[in-house]
């Protein structure tokens, strides 16, 4: 009965043994599937799937067998892949216009922005001068300028040199419980157990040895309890280009912040890049000096940074290149990142961006400073191994970083 479904599960690499399959048949014989397709789906997934990472493969097999839906994930044409690798974001701009737009410096942009504020008296959409939406103007949002000042709204190319607006970000929630089990299991690998504190746990092995040596007279041996001595600092990029990944980061945050997971756990927020301050809240009302954090924490504490590492190159490499319009950072963002990397013995950067978007971006530059891993289950496990054991860093993404 349904033997072809078993073979379809195995074809999708769901590891189903004959023992589990017979258990499914027995459960159906008892009517636990409620004589419905939905009931059979839930029952079969409960019995046949041993790891939640196989849920997608199970769904593929179920759809393939019961609805004749065959999904070939490799059926993407080479032409489409080439287009995705090299999108033409600046159609309509001549080479001369591109060079002129890219040559504008930060101080020149600020001066032009103040002039536009004085002169403009109405809404403007499109065009190449006024503050508005679309067009080639370096001021506004949704336009084609590669290094302008974004005023509200979404960023089209994710490369604005500065953002002139109040930042109102939302704290990552701690109470998410859905889909965090894999992250929770992976984080257990960060445990570093050691015996410390009062002598209060009965050690059975040593008690037996001591009793034997004492000619059979019972002699109880106690030891200090095992406690997790791992201390973790988590820095999270919030807002802007991180919004599409907010739920994924919330899941990580939920698992990491559970009581008893670490001997010490601190979390802070930043936007795009770390400067002289990080923040206890996503509204950025409670600053904490990075220099103070470095001064009061041990080199053996683990530092994990979560962010897409995408920004304008000037924001990362130039003093005064902060994304915040009214903030002047005396040291470049890359300088502060190196200070953190130099202080802590074990660090890792978790990046939710797919690997194919890493080359020839600021991700490369940051990957040359921090050991960088993709924020997936496999990448998280690799990062945890590095945080616990150290050893060889992952290779940077390949091309030369910005300089």
- Mean of the pLDDT values across residues 348-377? 91
d(CA 331, CA 326) in angstroms, rounded, equals: 15
Note whether residue 383 is domain-resident: yes
Of 151, 158, 149, the residue nearest 123 (C-alpha): 151
Tell me which of 29-38, 78-87, 133-142 is least confident. Answer: 78-87
Give the domain extent around 256: 181-192+229-389
Same domain (yes/no): 153, 222 = no
Tell me which of 85-89, 240-244, 289-293 is least confident. Answer: 85-89
Note whether residue 397 is domain-resident: no
Same domain (yes/no): 216, 245 = no
The CATH number covering residue 254 comes to 3.40.50
- Mean of the pLDDT values across residues 373-393? 83
Chain position carrying tokens 């950067």: 349
Same domain (yes/no): 118, 132 = yes
Note whether residue 244 is domain-resident: yes
Same domain (yes/no): 245, 129 = no
Q: In what order do the strands lie in the sheet with 162-163?
A: 132-133, 139-141, 149-150, 162-163
Give every CB contact of residue 160 below 8 A, 6+ residues apart in sequence: 147, 148, 149, 150, 312, 323
d(CA 202, CA 319) in angstroms, rounded, equals: 59
Per-residue confidence band for 89, with pLDDT thresholds at 50, 70 and 90? very low
Note whether residue 374 is domain-resident: yes
Tell me which of 12-26, 222-236, 374-388 is least confident. Answer: 222-236
When divided into structural domains, the chain yields a total of: 4
Same domain (yes/no): 253, 378 = yes
- Mean of the pLDDT values across residues 323-352? 88
Mean pLDDT, the chain, integer: 76
Note whether residue 339 is domain-resident: yes
- Flag whether pLDDT at 217 surpasses 80: yes
Would you give the distance in Å from CA 198 to the centre of its chain? Answer: 39
Task: Report the pLDDT value the prediction gives residue 261, as an integer from 0 to 100.
Answer: 72
- Flag whether pLDDT at 90 surpasses 80: no
- Flag whether pLDDT at 163 surpasses 60: no
Give the containing element (helix H, strand E) for 232.
strand 231-237
- Mean of the pLDDT values across residues 364-379? 90
Tell me which of 12-26, 79-93, 272-286, 321-335 is least confident. Answer: 79-93
- Flag whether pLDDT at 22 surpasses 50: yes
Task: Report the pLDDT value the prediction gives residue 257, as an integer from 0 to 100.
Answer: 83
What's the pTM value of the predicted model, to 2 decimals? 0.57
Same domain (yes/no): 188, 328 = yes
Same domain (yes/no): 141, 210 = no
Question: pLDDT tens-digit profile of 296-310?
Answer: 999 989 999 999 999
Mark 226-245 as b/e (b = at least 16 C-beta within 10 Å).
Answer: eebebbbbbbbbbbbbbeeb
Same domain (yes/no): 59, 154 = no
Note whether residue 84 is domain-resident: no
End-to-end CA distance of the chain: 64
Question: pLDDT tens-digit profile of 62-86?
Answer: 888 887 544 444 444 455 455 555 5
Same domain (yes/no): 134, 266 = no
Same domain (yes/no): 44, 130 = no
Note whether residue 341 is domain-resident: yes
Note whether residue 83 is domain-resident: no
Task: Report the pLDDT value the prediction gives residue 325, as an integer from 0 to 100.
Answer: 65
- Flag whether pLDDT at 143 surpasses 60: no
Same domain (yes/no): 143, 262 = no
Per-residue confidence band for 132, with pLDDT thresholds at 50, 70 and 90? low
Same domain (yes/no): 305, 325 = yes
Mark 261-282 as b/e (b = at least 16 C-beta within 10 Å).
Answer: bbbebbbbbbbbbbbbbbbeeb
């Amino acid at each position: 009965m349904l033997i072809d479904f078993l073979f379809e599960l195995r074809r999708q690499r769901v590891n189903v043994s004959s023992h589990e399959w017979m258990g499914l048949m027995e459960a159906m014989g008892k009517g636990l599937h409620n004589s419905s397709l939905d009931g059979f789906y839930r029952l079969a997934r409960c019995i046949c799937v041993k790891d939640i990472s196989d849920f997608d493969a199970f769904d593929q097999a179920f759809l393939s067998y019961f609805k004749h839906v065959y999904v070939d994930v490799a059926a993407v044409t080479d032409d489409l892949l080439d287009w995705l690798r090299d999108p033409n974001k600046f159609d309509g701009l001549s080479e001369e216009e591109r060079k002129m737009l890219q040559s504008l410096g930060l101080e020149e942009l600020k001066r032009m922005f103040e002039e536009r504020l004085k002169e403009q008296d109405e809404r403007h959409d499109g065009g190449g001068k006024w503050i508005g939406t679309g067009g080639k103007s370096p001021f506004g949002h949704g336009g084609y300028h590669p290094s302008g000042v974004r005023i509200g709204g979404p960023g089209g190319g994710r490369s604005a040199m500065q953002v002139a607006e109040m930042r109102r970000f939302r704290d990552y929630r701690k109470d998410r419980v859905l889909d965090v089990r894999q992250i929770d299991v992976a984080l257990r690998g960060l445990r570093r157990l050691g015996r410390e504190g009062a002598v209060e746990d009965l050690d059975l092995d040593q008690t037996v040895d001591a009793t034997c040596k004492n000619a059979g007279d019972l002699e109880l041996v106690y030891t200090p309890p095992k406690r997790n001595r791992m201390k973790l600092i988590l820095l999270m990029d919030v807002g802007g280009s991180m919004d599409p990944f907010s739920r994924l980061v919330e899941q990580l945050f939920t698992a990491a912040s559970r009581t008893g997971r670490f001997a010490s756990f601190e979390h802070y927020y930043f936007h795009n890049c770390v400067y002289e301050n990080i923040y206890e809240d996503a509204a950025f009302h409670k600053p904490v000096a990075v220099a103070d954090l470095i001064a009061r924490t041990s080199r053996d504490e683990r530092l994990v940074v979560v962010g897409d590492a995408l920004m304008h190159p000037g924001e990362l490499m130039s003093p005064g290149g902060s994304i915040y319009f009214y903030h002047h950072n005396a040291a470049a963002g890359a300088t502060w990142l190196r200070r953190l990397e130099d202080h802590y013995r074990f660090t890792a950067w978790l990046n939710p961006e797919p690997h194919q978007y890493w080359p020839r971006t600021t991700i490369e530059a940051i990957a040359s400073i921090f050991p960088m891993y993709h924020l997936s289950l496999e990448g998280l496990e690799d990062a945890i191994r590095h945080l616990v054991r150290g050893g060889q860093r992952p290779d940077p993404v390949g091309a030369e970083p910005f300089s």
